[in-house]
Amino acid sequence: MVKRIFDIVMSLLGLIVLCPLFLAIAILIRLDSRGPVFFRQVRIGKDGKPFQMLKFRTMMHSKHWTGPPLSGRNDPRVTSIGAVLRRSKINEFPQLINVLKGDMSFVGPRPEVPEFVKSYGPEQVRVLSVRPGIVGPSQIRMRNEEELYAEGVDPRQYYTENILPKKLEIDLEYVDNPSMLKDLFYVLYGMWITITGVVTRRHLFENVEQIALFGCDTLICAFSYYLAYFLRMEGELPAVEKSILLGTLPYVIIVRMCTFTYFGLYATLISYMSSDEVIKIVKGATFSSTIIVLVTFLIGERGHPRSVFAIDWFVLQCFLGGYRLLFKAYKDYMGRSKSERQENILIYGAGNMGGLALHYLRMQDGSNVVAFVDDDPKKRRKSFQGVKVLGNRYDIEALVGLYHIDHVLIAMEDSSHESVEQVKALCQKANVSHEIFALAN
């Protein structure tokens, strides 16, 4: 009875306090992907009674649910916002509603889906003799469950055979030794584990490049804003302007970094950065600048120079795009210097297939596309995706000798047997290796 009163009071208080956070998360989820804000799933509660457990939706929404009823490591169904919610365990907060209704308690074994409950043995069924909880002993000891899965395994089978038995063993120990003091300890310790377990050593190691980017961008956002003010004030910052600068700087940084994260600036490896990243920077800077203007207006900073926003917008894009391109160029240079001599490639076909072949080769180490060859006279001496078209098929022999070509890649739109065989014959005449570039079926 005491535990139930505690659950009602604390869940009601939690829902009132967290109401603004719920609203903000709901907006982020709807902006991130289509679908409902909440995810409802049937779980088995006390005495085997099924109920609908609530969570914030963290996966792509589908009318016809596909995949296992659990999420293994690197589940492709998880959305960008969903990944953050899952690691921070914020996606579990709506279960306060389940606690208020009496389906769950603050502390207890985590509820399972019917599929796994059916596999419980006679001893394991005893875990259903108590209300399931938001915080459970097995959940605390196995904080980041997704990281327990081995690579390349069937999540359902691995969970049933390796993870579930350990969880039930821990939960049964709790069932056999109930204590209000122990429940209070689990609530407090669960909060601590939730905070400290958001970032693990493995998570840091796997995302070191993105974390470094995020840190650099944060510093650049602060410096760009200061520089914009400095330029606007022509090198002098009066006390009033300095006060406005320091007062609005935290809002600027928060809005910038949240917006950049939303636009996916930290979901790309620098080595494979493309023009899409520049577009993301422009979108992120423009969108965040608009929000910053509105925020400064709402907080009453009427004396803020409007031109600072325009200067900051321009300078920020130059800095963010500039250092990314420099870093990528440096990594490309270091990669080339460590590899052996690059193979000189000649691509036959300056069309769609040729463009795909060029993109593929640029992703490979040790390949240097010297030029294109194409029979269309309109393309002669023109540049195709930054590479010149130097001749037609009959110029292959001359180009091989002139540019020390090691290999010819035939990427033809017209793949008729006669045409291909003729190009092959010309390559053999030039004594150069060749192959046909084709998309796999």
Helix (H, G, I), strand (E, B) or coil at 412: coil
**Cα R_g (the chain), whole angstroms:** 30
Of the candidates 217, 247, 241, 218, which has an alpha carbon nearest to the alpha carbon of residue 229?
Answer: 241
Q: List per-residue pLDDT tens for the chain, 441 residues long.
A: 788 888 899 999 999 988 888 888 888 888 878 889 999 989 999 999 999 999 999 888 766 555 555 655 556 678 878 877 887 788 889 999 999 999 999 998 989 889 889 888 888 899 999 999 998 888 777 766 666 666 556 777 778 877 888 888 888 988 888 888 888 888 888 777 766 666 555 556 666 777 888 889 999 999 999 999 889 888 777 788 888 888 888 889 988 988 888 788 877 766 666 667 888 899 999 999 998 888 887 777 667 788 889 999 999 999 998 888 888 777 767 666 555 557 899 999 988 888 888 888 877 766 789 999 998 888 888 888 888 898 899 899 889 988 889 999 998 876 667 788 889 999 999 999 999 887 654
DSSP at 109? P
| pLDDT score at 431 | 92
Q: Which domains does the chain have, with CATH numbers?
A: 2-204 (no CATH), 207-336 (no CATH), 343-436 (3.40.50.720)
What is the pLDDT, as a whole number, of residue 99? 93
Full-model pTM: 0.56
pLDDT at 100: 93
**Ramachandran region, residue 268 (left: φ > 0; alpha: ψ -120 to 50; beta: rest):** beta
How much is the pLDDT for 148?
65
In this predicted structure, what is the pLDDT of residue 236?
79
Residues 6+ apart with CB under 8 A from 196: none
Q: Is the dihedral of CA 209, 211, 213, 215 positive or negative?
A: negative
Distance CA 329, CA 201 (A): 29
Burial of 113: CB neighbours in 10 Å, binned 0-12, 13-18, 19+? middle
User: Could you tell me the two tokens for 440?
Assistant: 């796999």
